[in-house]
Amino acid sequence: MNSKLGWLLALLLIAPITNVMAQAEAPYREFDPMEDYLPHVKGDLRLSGSYKHWKDPKNLDWRMAGNPDENWKLNWKFMDPPFNASVHGGHFALDRGETIFKELNVKGRFAACLGARKGNLKGLRAAYPMYRPELKQVAGLEEMIERCAAKAGRVLQNGSYDNSAVSLYIANQSVGMPIKINVTSAGPLQAAYERGRKLFHTRAGRFNLACSSCHTYQIGLHLRGTVVTSPYGDVAHYPVYRTRYQLQSLHLRFAECNLDTRTQPLLPGSRPYTDIEVFLTGLTNGYPVSVPSERD
């Protein structure tokens, strides 16, 4: 074989490999521009003050300007809490969660593993997700429920009815307490918040949509009969009772939104979903925990 042909063959062989390597180095990712969600709010209040901000009806026409009847859709929670008034499937889930919790909490070990101080569950939900030193990572409450149950020899898979029921039972001890996670000081939680913020704005899937394509630009509008919510406050009423699902954890909701938009969903408890949870929880600071809640 002459040497020129040899070179050509070698190039043909190498070219696709280098092409793949170049792709691996610089994956193509398109971002929606970062929105200035709260143009009128300054400093730390941008996070912790959003509850107050949206509760003030005069701020609610940010997106629905000129149509006061539609204002409530900007923040669904503006109208509805507290949710405890009527009986729905979430109340049955509470009973189930309490039973499992008590079975697991022999000598207070389960509560301690979840991070409850002196076994007191009050306020625990409002402080999640949190950095767990033993894991060296930020974890959501449902992830910790799965891990701590495993220590007691029980499988409570993240996203399962029983896992969400325990999560709901724990959340119910914090009803009315404001969600409070610190994402304004440097640390693992803030890093997770920033990663989550990026993910929330990253387009993906067959329709090339980011979470923000809907949850910032389309809020208040109908998509196939359901209303797109603002990114503020929703976290505070999860896990939620849904007629279709029984109980839906927050990460299952992310998976549903991913599926709806033809994007590969991830497992509940996966790192990217946990990061998005931290981001949405940061935006929910100040909102009272509102469970058991119900969505259609």
Residues in the chain: 296
Closer CB to ligand HEC, residue 111 or residue 196?
Answer: 196
The answer to whether 64 and 74 are in contact (CB under 8 A) is yes
If one asks whether residue 228 binds ligand HEC (CB under 6 A), the answer comes out as yes
Smallest distance from ligand HEC to CB 281, Å: 11
Among 233, 291, 238, CA closest to 84: 291
Least Å from the CB of residue 85 to ligand HEC: 18
What is the biggest distance separating any 2 CA atoms in the chain, rounded to whole angstroms? 86
Count of CB atoms situated within 10 Å of the CB of 142: 30
Per CB under 6 A, contacts with ligand HEC among 22-61 are none
- Rounded to a whole number of angstroms, the minimum distance from the CB of residue 157 to ligand HEC is 20
Residue 193 binds ligand HEC (CB under 6 A): no
Q: In the range 232-251, which residues lie near ligand HEC by CB under 6 A?
A: 234
Nearest distance in Å: CB 152, ligand HEC: 30
Which 103-122 residues touch ligand HEC, going by CB under 6 A?
none
Q: Does 213 bind ligand HEC (CB under 6 A)?
A: yes
Instruction: Output the smallest distance, CB 106 to ligand HEC, in A.
Output: 34
Residue 253 binds ligand HEC, judged by CB under 6 A? yes
Shorter beta-carbon distance to ligand HEC: residue 107 or 224: 224
Euclidean distance between CA atoms 69 and 28, whole angstroms: 41
Distance (Å, whole) CA 278 – CA 197: 9
CA distances (Å), 267 to each of 8, 245, 256, in order?
Answer: 45, 17, 11
Count, residues near ligand HEC per rule CB under 6 A: 18
Contact 115, 144 (CB under 8 A): yes
Rounded to whole angstroms, the Cα distance separating 196 from 50 reads 18
Interface contacts to ligand HEC, rule CB under 6 A? 76, 209, 211, 213-215, 223, 226, 228-229, 234, 253-254, 257-258, 261, 276, 295
